[in-house]
Amino acid sequence: MRLEELIKSVSGAKLSGGGDLQITGLEYDSRRVKPGMLFIAVEGYKMDGNQFIPDAVKNGAVAVMTAKSYNGTIPAVIVPDLRQAMADTAAQFYGYPGFNLNIAGITGTNGKSTSVYLVRMILKAAGIEAGMVNSLVYDTGKIRYKAGRTTPDSVDMQKILSEMIKAGCTHGVVEVSSHALVLHRVDNIDFKAGLFTNFSRDHLDFHNTMEEYLEAKKLFLNKLVGDEKYVVINMDVPEYAGFVDDVRGRLLTYSAVRDDVDVYLKDFELYSDRSLFTLVAKGEERPIELGLPGRYNLSNATGAAALATAMGIDADHIAAGLKAAEAVPGRFEPVICGQPFSVVIDYAHTPDAIERLCKSAREITKGRLIILFGCGGDRDRGKRPLMGEAASKFSDLAMITSDNPRTEDPDRIIDDVKPGMVKDDYRVIPDRRKAIYEILKMARADDTVLIAGKGAEDYLEIGTKKYPYEDKAEILKSLEKLGYKKG
């Protein structure tokens, strides 16, 4: 595509030469630039892409897009808002795929990845080909990419959506983070429906205050305007219930605890490997067998059912999709190695998520509830004692360890957690591998051990580097050292 054609929809763009250049691709990472590409010099929070323009040129970039002045050797596109410009350029390059799919988005503090997965399973049960974007995987229907972040940057997002179309998908289900809404990652996507799951403290290193965080979530409403768009709101969340008067699409409400809504559940039973309940969707009742344990998955399932209802899926296919669902990696995922106690991995890394995780596990635990957790470095320090309070209050025994300390001192992070510990009986082992071994060594028959924070992540981020690491692998290794064996 000609450079001049590529940027025609970019507001305020100024092109210095090279309008007839043929652009073969878009890239914002200089290391991935190939000959013929337009390099987009994104100003990040740690690094400035403008510093890497020479590297991009060496790798074959034929033009650069930047929000700064440029006096280099290749044509430049100067724009007032780089994130917006990148989103518009990507949509133009890939042919606006976000307008050629039936796309549903899901936002919330916790439960987004599981909800995306459940909705996709429901669509599959209805015979609908759908791609999926969540914090675990970007699945185009044919190709599965390991997720780099909750919601990919706009260039990657538009590419993924275009690949969904090529793979024969008619629908897509996308996890929409607050970062994505602020940073234009989901611009140029014609969302047909949006689900608001829950809201609690997180990302205050980015949003500064809870009010700013909520306003970021509210931006999603602006993408759901019109009689053909559905806004699906969890009425159990006061902050989202407050959005009702601002809805400019069609409103659908749901709840896991009340029945004065469009979609709700009743008569639930919780087991260690599944959940049973009756789903009521717009007056229709269906018995549901959900292949996921945990009380909070009842809310995830009800929200997924509500979103599917908004997308026109009937109750029978909703029931079939939920029944077919299996454990989501790193989300209340059991680890079994012949031990007489339960071990569960979960991504819980906020105070609310820790509390909900503990409460869900408590309902299916006969013995003690034990939790291992940590707090990430270079992130919201204010939530650290709150996480400690939740872990200490809702478990019988807690152990504090490291969880991606990044450039912070792990001991200092742990010191930030300690004031929140409401019980004196807790342990501290900064080395996560050693901590996992020791906490499993403490477990007795009928106990439940929760390994929280990392979920399915396959790295430990120490300093500025990521080192290979998986909680599940360490758990299995420790259980084998303790004499337990599979089968």
Written in H, E and C, the secondary structure of the chain is CEHHHHCCCCCCCEEECCCCCECCEEECCHHHCCCCEEEECCECCCCEHHHHHHHHHHCCCCEEEECCCCCCCCCEEECCCHHHHHHHHHHHHCCCHHHCCEEEEEECCCCHHHHHHHHHHHHHHCCCCEEEECCCEEECCCCEEECCCCCCCHHHHHHHHHHHHHCCCCEEEEECCHHHHHCCCCCCCCEEEEEECCCCCCCHHHHCCHHHHHHHHHHHHHHCCCCCCEEEEECCCHHHHCCHHHCCCEEEEEECCCCCCCEEEEEEEECCCCEEEEEEECCEEEEEEECCCCHHHHHHHHHHHHHHHHCCCCHHHHHHHHHHCCCCCCCCEECCCCCCCEEEEECCCCHHHHHHHHHHHHCCCCCCEEEEECCCCCCCHHHHHHHHHHHHHCCCEEEECCCCCECCCHHHHHHHHHHHCCCCCEEECCCHHHHHHHHHHHCCCCCEEEEECCCCCCEEEECCEEEECCHHHHHHHHHHHCCCCCC
Rounded CA-CA distance 41/155 in Å is 13
Query: Which pTM was predicted?
Result: 0.91
**Weakly modelled stretches of the chain, pLDDT under 50:** none
Confidence at residue 201, expressed as pLDDT on a 0 to 100 scale: 60
Confidence at residue 312, expressed as pLDDT on a 0 to 100 scale: 97
Confidence at residue 203, expressed as pLDDT on a 0 to 100 scale: 59
Rounded CA-CA distance 212/207 in Å is 6
Rounded CA-CA distance 73/64 in Å is 10
Q: Are 286 and 277 in contact (CB under 8 A)?
A: no
Confidence at residue 272, expressed as pLDDT on a 0 to 100 scale: 86
Confidence at residue 213, expressed as pLDDT on a 0 to 100 scale: 85
The phi and psi torsions of 29 (rounded to 5 degrees) equal -110, 115
Q: Which domains does the chain have, with CATH numbers?
A: 3-83 (3.40.1390.10), 97-324 (3.40.1190.10), 333-481 (3.90.190.20)
